[in-house]
Amino acid sequence: GSIEAINAALEKLGNDEVRARIVHAGAGGITESDVSLAETSGAAIIGFNVRANAQARTAAAAAGIEIRYYSIIYNLVDDVKAALSGMLSPERRETFIGNAEILEIFDISKVGKIAGCRVTEGKVERGAGVRLIRDNVVVHEGTLKTLKRFKDEVSEVPVGQECGMAFQNYEDMRVGDVIECFRVEMVSRTL
């Protein structure tokens, strides 16, 4: 009876990306043959109100196979769910920080091109991602090399203030271009 209940509970877990696959289910204690099956199929062994015999424990330790014991079905299901959630690829989430408009381009020897900008919305942060937008089309995406206010390197510039920006490996900016500043987070997903 327990096998059917556990199988049914595990079948419901998962989505299109990850799913629990039961390689073998049976009644009785965990044996050496269970360990060798787990080894060849790359599976973990779950015992519900049963234990592995000494030979099976030794074989599992030698093969690096994990044997997990449970006596409460909800704990078993929660652990499998947590393991599956850990296999989900994280979600890329982007947050808008601010916009700046290029007012002037300065060509400085030994430094390269610096865009003289005014922050028109939000703020601009050093280390954040940036997009260069010309006529509503993204022409470059990358990171800031420098963010300066007057002669000082700063970590952020708030709305309404002017600043100088230089891009990492990119110099084709023009007056009137808009610089969009954004932050990217990788958010772990759960089932």
Domains of the chain: 2-87 (3.40.50.10050), 92-187 (2.40.30.10)
For every residue of 110-153, DSSP letters joined together read: TTEEEEEEEEEEEEEETTSEEEEEETTEEEEEEEEEEEEETTEE
Q: What is the mean pLDDT of residues 12-28?
A: 90
Token duo for residue 63 = 């093969």
Between CA 106 and CA 99 the distance in angstroms is: 20
pLDDT above 90: residue 133: yes
Determine the length of the chain.
191
Rounded CA separation 10/22 (Å): 8
Q: Give residue 163's identity as a one-letter amino acid code.
A: C
Candidates 154, 149, 141, 150; CA nearest to 184 is: 141
Tens-digit pLDDT profile for residues 145-184: 889 998 899 999 999 999 999 988 888 999 999 999 999 8
CA distance linking residue 83 with residue 190, whole number of Å = 10
Q: Is 146 exposed, middle or buried (0-12, 13-18, 19+ CB in 10 A)?
A: middle
pLDDT tens by residue, 66-97: 999 999 999 999 999 999 988 888 899 999 99
Helix 73-87 crosses helix 2-12 at what angle (to 10 degrees)? 30
Give the model's pLDDT for residue 169.
87
The structure tokens listed for 15 are 């989505």
List pLDDT tens digits, range 25-69.
Answer: 999 999 999 999 999 999 999 999 999 999 999 999 999 999 999
> Tokens standing for 105?
């381009």
